[in-house]
Structures are given as structure tokens and as C-alpha cells.
């Protein structure tokens, strides 16, 4: 049990980083852009893809914080699941407490300074500066939060806005109503795109994102599938995010399942960084990778 708790925490955190590092490669962080309250300006466009993009961007709402139950499922190479509680403060922190019978067994915490992964039963911890990832790959904490909520984002800028259309090339997919969002400037040694769906409704065109597909030049494809979208105080959010990758010839798949009906938004919460006891074993990035190989 204790080994499984550690590994599912590691796998979840690493998959998020892999997805973001690959899709944000060679990007630089830029100031956050404000949310748009409507898509009226874009509705003037005759291009249905532009209207679909505007509909998608306007489906995301500004939020300050959220807390809700979460379930992490390791699907491959082994099967295991653990439940817990997650708290996020927009642009400041992500905290997942993994519990069994009310007792915290492990935790994942990310803020603007560092990434923490802890296993209390094994007295093990991994801590790495977020600058290590963000300076090299250009993603921000807002990007991590958008990925976890199943929302489209612009690397280094967070959730999609109407003004972000210039950052993407829009095209139809192979299926009717399929929307493909590719970066206007393709990062070096990687290609990636969001895949979504748009439909004509009485109020106009509605759109959702259901996948992020990343194809690094030197790795197997990575993907994040978004399903069970619901309207929330933070806009359209996926109730399930399924991330997959291949490491050391092993398939790695983790599902993040949110209890959106029990989410509490904009309550002013302020989770703090965990304190690492002095008797904990500190994992290096190399040690973390080796541990994942043993999954």
C-alpha cells in the first residue's frame, strides 16, 4: 500500500510535468492576460472556426481558489487508486492530499517556487525548484492548473482568452465538427495540438476541448484526454483528466477524477507548503526517474 501511494503520486506529478515540458518547449513566460466576459466581438466573424474558438475561450471563467475531492487512478503499468482532497489557488499553488481512512499518506504540492512530492509512510520526499522547469520550458503554474482542469491554455499564459487566437492555427479535423488548435509557432523538436468539438446550438456555436496531444521528436507521444465536462464557477471543467506517456518502454497512465459536485470555489483558502522532516530521504530527479522505472 505505502509503495503504491508513493508511486501514484510520483506518476501523477511526472505526467503533468512531461505534458507541459513537451508542449511548452522553447516558450517564454509572458504576463497573464485578462479573461473576456463574452464572445460578442468574435461573433462578428463569419469563420465558424473563429466563432468556435471564441466560444471556447468565453466558456472559461476567472476564479481565485477551489477545493474538492479528487481520486487518482494508476491504470498502467499497474492498477491502483487512491482518494484525497485537492486545493488550488489560481496562479499560486496546487495541493493534493492523498488519504486512507482519514490519514494523510502522501501529498503533491506545487507553488510558484517548488514542486513537492511526499510519502509519509516511506519518509520520502522529492523537492525541485519550479524554475528548473519554467525557465527551461516556459510553462507557468497557471498552465498546470489549466491542464488539471481540462481547459485549453497558451503555454506561459494560462487559460485561453479571446486575445489568444493569434497564438493558434485553427483547422477542422477529420470528423464533422472537430476543432484542431495548433500553435502558430511550432516549438523546436516537438509538435502538439488541442483537439476539440464544436456544435451549432440555438444560442450559437458551442465548443469544448477533449484532448491535448503532444509529439516530441525523441519520445513516444503523450496525451491528456478530457471528459465529463461540467459548468462550474470556474467555467467549463473536465471531471476526468486521463494522462498517458511512455517511459523506459513502459506505458504510464494516470487518471485524475474530480468530484465537481462537491467543489467549493472562491472561498479564500490559502494552503501552505509542506514541511519536510529532517529524517526524510530526499529524492533527486535522477532518483525519481529510477523509482518510476520500477513501476
* pLDDT tens digits in sequence order for the chain, 295 residues long: 444 444 555 555 554 544 444 444 444 333 344 444 444 444 445 688 999 999 999 999 999 999 999 998 888 777 777 888 999 999 999 999 888 777 777 888 888 888 888 888 778 888 878 776 666 555 678 888 999 999 999 877 788 898 999 989 999 999 899 999 998 876 677 788 999 999 988 677 889 999 998 887 777 788 899 999 999 999 999 999 998 887 667 777 889 999 999 999 999 998 888 888 889 888 776 666 666 666 5
| Nearest-angstrom CA–CA distance, 90 and 141 | 8
Residues 6+ apart with CB under 8 A from 160: 56, 57, 60, 151, 152, 153, 154
* Residue-range definition of the domain harbouring residue 193: 2-293
pLDDT in the model for residue 29: 36
pLDDT in the model for residue 132: 63
Number of domain units in the chain: 1
Please report, for the domain that includes residue 150, its CATH number. Answer: 2.50.20.10
pLDDT in the model for residue 116: 86
Helical H runs in 106-198?
A: 130-137, 141-148
Amino acid at each position: 500500500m505505502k509503495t503504491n501511494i508513493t508511486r501514484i503520486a510520483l506518476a501523477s506529478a511526472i505526467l503533468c510535468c512531461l505534458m507541459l515540458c513537451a508542449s511548452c518547449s522553447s516558450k517564454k513566460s509572458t504576463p497573464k492576460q485578462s479573461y473576456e466576459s463574452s464572445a460578442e466581438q468574435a461573433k462578428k466573424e463569419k469563420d465558424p472556426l473563429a466563432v468556435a474558438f471564441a466560444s471556447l475561450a468565453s466558456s472559461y471563467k476567472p476564479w481565485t481558489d477551489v477545493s474538492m475531492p479528487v481520486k487518482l487512478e494508476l491504470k498502467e503499468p499497474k492498477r491502483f487508486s487512491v482518494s484525497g482532497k485537492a486545493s488550488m489557488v489560481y496562479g499560486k499553488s496546487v495541493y493534493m492530499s492523498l488519504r486512507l481512512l482519514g490519514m494523510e499518506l502522501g501529498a503533491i504540492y506545487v507553488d510558484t517556487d517548488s514542486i513537492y512530492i511526499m510519502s509519509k509512510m516511506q519518509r520520502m520526499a522529492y523537492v525541485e525548484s519550479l524554475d528548473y522547469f519554467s525557465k527551461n520550458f516556459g510553462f507557468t503554474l497557471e498552465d498546470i492548473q489549466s491542464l488539471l482542469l481540462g481547459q485549453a491554455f497558451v503555454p506561459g499564459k494560462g487559460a485561453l482568452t479571446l486575445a489568444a487566437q493569434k497564438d493558434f492555427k485553427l483547422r477542422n479535423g477529420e470528423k464533422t465538427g472537430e476543432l484542431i488548435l495548433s500553435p502558430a509557432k511550432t516549438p523546436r523538436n516537438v509538435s502538439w495540438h488541442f483537439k476539440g468539438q464544436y456544435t451549432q446550438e440555438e444560442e450559437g456555436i458551442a465548443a469544448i476541448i477533449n484532448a491535448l496531444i503532444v509529439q516530441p521528436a525523441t519520445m513516444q507521444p503523450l496525451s491528456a484526454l478530457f471528459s465529463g465536462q461540467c459548468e462550474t464557477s470556474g467555467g467549463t471543467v473536465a471531471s476526468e483528466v486521463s494522462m498517458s506517456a511512455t517511459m523506459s518502454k513502459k506505458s504510464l497512465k494516470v487518471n485524475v477524477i474530480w468530484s465537481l459536485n462537491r467543489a467549493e470555489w472562491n472561498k479564500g483558502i490559502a494552503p501552505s507548503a509542506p514541511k519536510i522532516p529532517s529524517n526524510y530521504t530526499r529524492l533527486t530527479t535522477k532518483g525519481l526517474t529510477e523509482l518510476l522505472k520500477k513501476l
